[in-house]
Structure 1
């Protein structure tokens, strides 16, 4: 595999792993909340979203009805998604156009 080919593979694997983490964390946090146990911090949830798990986290939040009454999450996560899409578009437009 050439260096040009390995970078996209690494990127897709990273996005897959961080998406799985982003999907699982809200579900785990909901279970822990129901059991009255130690919770996953909101900061951790936002960090995972920012580093690439935002879409999966939003889907998980909606699916498991977790953090859906918190404006911070219902506005913050979609805003992160929009910002990430803007960055992807900017990178594509300015760096990858030939």
Structure 2
């Protein structure tokens, strides 16, 4: 039984890390867009959302109003929510 809890805890920690990473990437990409710097690719953002960072992507989109109108991203990320 103890090994099961360790596995659950490990998965929870990994999901938290993925979602925080996704949120930080949205934050960076938003500011990079405003400052005309190197940007994070949509593919990278979508892959991280797909493997478990979808909550971070949704929160990042809404909090920073980033990539909410961009057509390809909004359509591809909709099934993740």
Instruction: With the length of structure 2 as denominator, give the TM-score of the two structures.
Output: 0.89
- Higher Rg of the two aligned structures: 1
2:5 aligned partner:
5
Whose RCO is larger (CA < 8 A, sep 6+)?
A: 2
When the two chains are superposed, the root-mean-square deviation of aligned CA atoms in Å is 1.4
What's the counterpart of residue 76 of structure 2? 76
- Structure 2 gaps of 5+ residues are none
What CA distance in whole angstroms lies between the structure 2 residues aligned with 1:5 and 1:55?
A: 23
Q: How many residue pairs end up in the alignment?
A: 81
1: distance between equivalents of 2:27 and 2:20? 11
Distance 1:3 1:63 in 2: 37
- Contact 1:58–1:78 at 8 Å: present in 2 too? no
Deviations 1:50-94 (A, max 9, x none): 01111211111111111111122223223023xxxxxxxxxxxxx
Equivalent residue of 2:38, what SS?
A: coil
